[in-house]
């Protein structure tokens, strides 16, 4: 950054301080979180649709997950129990916002993968103890349908991990479809919530492509449910924000979950405005 760039940056910082913009930003963020909390309580938690005791959304809470996934995961395993307490999650970025970070704090072990060398380096900085103990493997890899089982085998993933969480923003459907040798007990996968029940949409597969930021991505809940049925899984819920769908292996369903196990019953629309980070900023130390 040259002289003019430094001057511009200093003037920008001074202007923000003069106008007290930091305090304004803080107050606006606080107001937004209060509004989200009020909406969740009045329009979702108190909604008759979610009053059944076994409806998973009732148990949503957020520790390190993007939205309320930490609570849903905890409730699922309260019902079906755990075995090896092993997770696999890819698309984790730097590990500060995942579906399995909270599990690490609770004593689980597992594998994280991300396509960014910078993200994986950050994980090695923030999770050195977990990695040295063998509780966590963090691997840099660009995930495709063609290499996913090789990566699992190379990392020593057990044949039936308790949890698989897929979040690569485009080819999620095809990657899960290609996993044949491994039978996770619970699968979390992103769905494209703009496509409501009654529409089977799946983006064309391209191993080299990434999400372009548009709605032309991923797969609809109907399409993922159809794939899940073929693989022997049932849809047991979707998070309030309309981001993640939860599937449990059919032999574990029992009477633990609310049927029918269909997209029509469990679909949640896109409520991405529910994305907030209450409490202090997240910082991993594992």
Considering the domain architecture, whether residues 220 and 269 belong to the same structural domain is answered as yes
On whether residue 170 sits in a domain, the answer given is: yes
1-15, 28-42, 77-91, 271-285 — most confident range = 77-91
Considering the domain architecture, whether residues 33 and 147 belong to the same structural domain is answered as no
On whether residue 286 sits in a domain, the answer given is: no
- 149 pLDDT higher than 90: yes
Structure tokens at 115: 């396509």
Residue-wise over 184-218: b if at least 16 C-beta within 10 A, else e? bbbbbbbbbbebeeeeebbbeeeeeeeeeeeeebb
Rounded CA-CA distance 148/144 in Å is: 6
**Range 52-72 average pLDDT:** 91
Domain count, the chain: 2
On whether residue 113 sits in a domain, the answer given is: yes
Q: Which residue has the higher pLDDT, 258 or 23?
A: 258
Structure tokens at 50: 């979610």
- Residue span of the structural domain in which 245 resides: 57-274
On whether residue 283 sits in a domain, the answer given is: no
**pLDDT number for residue 143:** 96
CA distances from 96 to 19, 66, 186, 214, 229 (A): 32, 9, 21, 24, 32
Nearest to 188 by CA among 237, 129, 150, 223: 237
- The band of 51, judged by pLDDT with boundaries at 50, 70 and 90, is confident
**pLDDT number for residue 169:** 86
């Amino acid at each position: 950054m040259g002289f003019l760039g430094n001057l511009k940056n200093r003037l920008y910082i001074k202007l923000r301080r003069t106008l007290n913009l930091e305090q304004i930003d803080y107050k606006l963020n606080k107001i937004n979180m209060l509004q989200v909390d009020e909406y969740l309580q009045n329009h979702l938690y108190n909604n008759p649709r979610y009053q059944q005791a076994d409806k998973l959304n009732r148990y949503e809470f957020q520790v390190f997950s993007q939205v309320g996934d930490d609570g849903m995961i905890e409730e699922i395993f309260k019902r079906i129990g755990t075995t090896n307490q092993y997770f696999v999650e890819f698309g984790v970025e730097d590990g500060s916002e995942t579906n399995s970070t909270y599990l690490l704090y609770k004593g689980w072990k597992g594998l994280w993968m991300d396509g960014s060398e910078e993200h994986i380096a950050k994980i090695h900085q923030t999770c050195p103890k977990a990695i040295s103990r063998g509780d966590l493997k963090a691997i840099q890899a660009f995930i495709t349908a063609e290499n996913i089982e090789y990566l699992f085998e190379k990392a020593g993933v057990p044949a039936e991990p308790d949890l698989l969480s897929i979040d690569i923003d485009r080819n999620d459907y095809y990657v899960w479809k290609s996993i044949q040798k491994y039978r996770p007990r619970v699968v979390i996968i992103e769905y494209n919530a703009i496509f409501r029940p009654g529409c089977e949409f799946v983006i064309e597969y391209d191993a080299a492509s990434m999400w372009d930021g548009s709605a032309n991505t991923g797969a609809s809940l109907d399409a993922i449910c159809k794939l899940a049925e073929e693989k022997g899984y049932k849809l047991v819920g979707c998070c309030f924000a309309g981001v993640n769908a939860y599937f449990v292996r059919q032999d574990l369903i029992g009477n633990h979950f609310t049927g029918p196990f269909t997209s029509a019953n469990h679909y949640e629309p896109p409520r991405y405005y529910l994305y907030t980070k209450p409490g202090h900023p997240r910082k991993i130390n594992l």
